[in-house]
Structure 1
């Protein structure tokens, strides 16, 4: 039977050289966007599996090419349900090389490729939403300039960049909130009144509530310019009040209010925020405080849901610990894991990590396990960090001042900038070097991870003197994107007029717009 919209099937031995396949012109190497393997890669021989990965690397386009496999796999040696166990046994009884593949074995195939190849994060060329450019007035001519020390947030549709030190701007600090549409790959500057922004917009701690839509972005501390001379101990909230409208609000705080500082980290667990460490610019600490809302039980209706103030509580004074800043933290059950950070002269080891038990208000030390082939990541600060599932990811950064430079008969110590990216399994406490690197050595950048499992990294400093900055946006998938995302991207790429006709088209509304365009 002939299908009018399906190409004639080709019989290919994937183990043979591509030149013998007699491929049609549209399927030449480096030309294919997607390869889909259904019910084969998970059961085939070792030679076929290795060949598929090798050939996919040649056939797929370098920018967005994806190899997608479909079928049952073993996960950490376990096969489910019973029907797949029986199927695996049947295959192996015929040929011992066949049978359901374990995902760990596939990862090893990729790591073998890593030894001979370097995979860089994808750098996304800046494009701007044309509707915003044409209708946003003077701000439509604003550029997303180089910056560092900003923070990021995300929801299902957008990646957000908030604040940062931007030396090309008149005020040096970016009183801006930019958002990047993950479907159309376009930027726009959000309309947030500049007068409402906090002043201390570099190296602040942050936490956001995203999911399907960004609702609240909290920031603590931070510094203005010159760094350290104008620090903050305020808590500010960027809150969504309407679909596309945000306002800034400074929270009223009482209790054990911390000193003005920057470089702290802010996390959230069980209804409370927790702040760890920071610096005044001269002194470093590892104090731990909680921040929780206080409500008026006598108020009625909606007013009852609005806190009358927020209360700081000192949980640990950090007196027996080295102070640090520009560290990050992730929550694991009732504990908070501190990762990296330090001072310009000292960085915390990543071999053993400090963990704060919330119930007991005590620190403990957790020894981690090395990557079997690559050991431990070097200690670092000014890096990016995200958590996805049961894993934390650290991205780039720099070491303490340890590299000697000879200048005018003097020895000057400078840091070493880093490009590597690591995964920490928070269940097994094992490090793993990722098969991807940042596009360049980078520190003071920002990072976030979308609900789809894509890490985005923006901006940062690119030299050891901390003088040069970038406005690059780069991304890296830590798991394959969903078929929904792939299909939506294919639609907007094939029909660029959709973005012009519907300037707010996004992942969550694309099919509504498609239906309206054909009705």
Structure 2
């Protein structure tokens, strides 16, 4: 049940190192990198080999649109972190070209409704200028872990209070040799009390997934958790540059790179049992440095990535897969859109008269 989308007039060129987020209505894709001059827009792309752009993929119509935004769009466009907080896309860190030379440590916010970028003015001890870090919002705090300057890999954990806009560097209560190994291009999951670090590595290594480092926010200390292997299959291979999405207590990792192979597998770990399960679906093409996001309804979209190491080739493909059983609402909605593709062109009053809820009408815009 993976479907391929190549619709609309223009689609985002093939890329890697970009990030994406999703709500009920759109997949937003920001940034990315492609050293192939023709593929990345040639002389039309003044940011070559980077993409200084924000795209949206509209689920209801299957159309891509490059969003024209106001304000200052960040120039660190590879391996930044992105998270959607209400209508605000928060982007932190990342690197320009050459990698490691032009890193960022600012938080840029794009309101996706008003299509306007602004810089979050922050106080306190902010992280170094890094890329390849992972971040997550928990209870109004933005947590940032790991990353690299391009030369030094980090095991730092920083926290930004989104209310007071103050950064703090969290000092764990562990002895120094009890910290997770420094890394980049890992992923993060959380259960409200702990932050879990999944995989990642350096340019010469990838970390295994049989043990998971967890930061306990209540005791302010790192813990190491032994996970349980999938019966007869074992653990997912070590990896970096993979993708990760979370639905309640289930965390799904997909693809990535282990130093020699590009991976295409899809795994789930449950944060209550720490049981790994390998899912039967595989990515239509193995990829790393791709991006993934899950809708509130439980549908995961994956976009782009590096698909061939030797040819240094990237893809612009978009795939989707349901990770949860769709609700009756979602099933009916997909059926309705298939039967009446022109629905989005109808005036709002007509949609109301047809019996559509406000929430569904908003998905058509």
Same fold (TM over 0.5): yes
1:257/1:123 Cα in 2 relative to 1: closer, same or farther (>3 Å)?
same
Matches of 2:355 and 2:62 in 1, distance apart? 14
Aligned-residue offset at 1:441: 0.9
Aligned-residue offset at 1:510: 8.3
Q: Establish whether residue 314 from structure 1 lines up as the match of residue 170 from structure 2.
A: yes
Task: Say which of 245, 248, 273 aligns to 1:389.
Answer: 248
Q: Establish whether residue 468 from structure 1 lines up as the match of residue 274 from structure 2.
A: no
1:181 is matched with 58
Name the structure, 1 or 2, with higher relative contact order (CA <8 Å, separation 6+). Answer: 2
Matches of 1:497 and 1:289 in 2, distance apart? 47
Q: Establish whether residue 264 from structure 1 lines up as the match of residue 120 from structure 2.
A: no
Which has a greater percent of helix? 1
The count of aligned residue pairs is 345
Aligned residue runs from structure 1 range 15-414, under 5 A: 121-128=2-9, 143-167=11-35, 168-169=40-41, 170=45, 171=47, 172-193=49-70, 196-210=72-86, 215-240=87-112, 244-293=113-162, 295=164, 309-316=165-172, 319-320=176-177, 321=179, 322-400=181-259
TM-score by length of 2: 0.87
Asked if the contact 1:390/1:425 (under 8 Å) is kept, the reply is: yes
1:460/1:318 Cα in 2 relative to 1: closer, same or farther (>3 Å)?
farther
Matches of 1:318 and 1:217 in 2, distance apart? 36
Matches of 1:460 and 1:510 in 2, distance apart? 41
Aligned-residue offset at 1:500: 4.1
Runs of 4+ in structure 1 displaced over 6 angstroms?
none
Aligned-residue offset at 1:453: 0.9
Q: Establish whether residue 416 from structure 1 lines up as the match of residue 261 from structure 2.
A: yes
1:143/1:432 Cα in 2 relative to 1: closer, same or farther (>3 Å)?
closer
Deviates more, 1:479-488 or 1:359-368: 479-488
1:448 is matched with 293
Asked if the contact 1:251/1:310 (under 8 Å) is kept, the reply is: no
Larger radius of gyration: 1
Deviates more, 1:244-253 or 1:444-453: 244-253
Asked if the contact 2:21/2:82 (under 8 Å) is kept, the reply is: no
Asked if the contact 1:289/1:312 (under 8 Å) is kept, the reply is: yes
Matches of 1:150 and 1:377 in 2, distance apart? 24
Tell me, which stretches of 5 or more residues in structure 1 are unaligned? 1-63, 65-120, 129-141, 296-308, 401-414
Aligned-residue offset at 1:186: 1.8
Question: Helix, strand or coil for the counterpart of 1:498?
Answer: helix
Aligned-residue offset at 1:245: 2.0
Asked if the contact 2:104/2:129 (under 8 Å) is kept, the reply is: yes
Matches of 1:166 and 1:510 in 2, distance apart? 45
2:271 is matched with 426
Residues 432-486 of structure 1: CA distance to partner in whole angstroms, max 9, x if unpaired? 0011011111000000111111110011111124721111110111122222222
Question: Helix, strand or coil for the counterpart of 1:434?
Answer: strand
Deviates more, 1:168-177 or 1:385-394: 168-177
Give me the CA root mean square deviation.
2.5
Matches of 1:502 and 1:173 in 2, distance apart? 39
1:489/1:313 Cα in 2 relative to 1: closer, same or farther (>3 Å)?
same
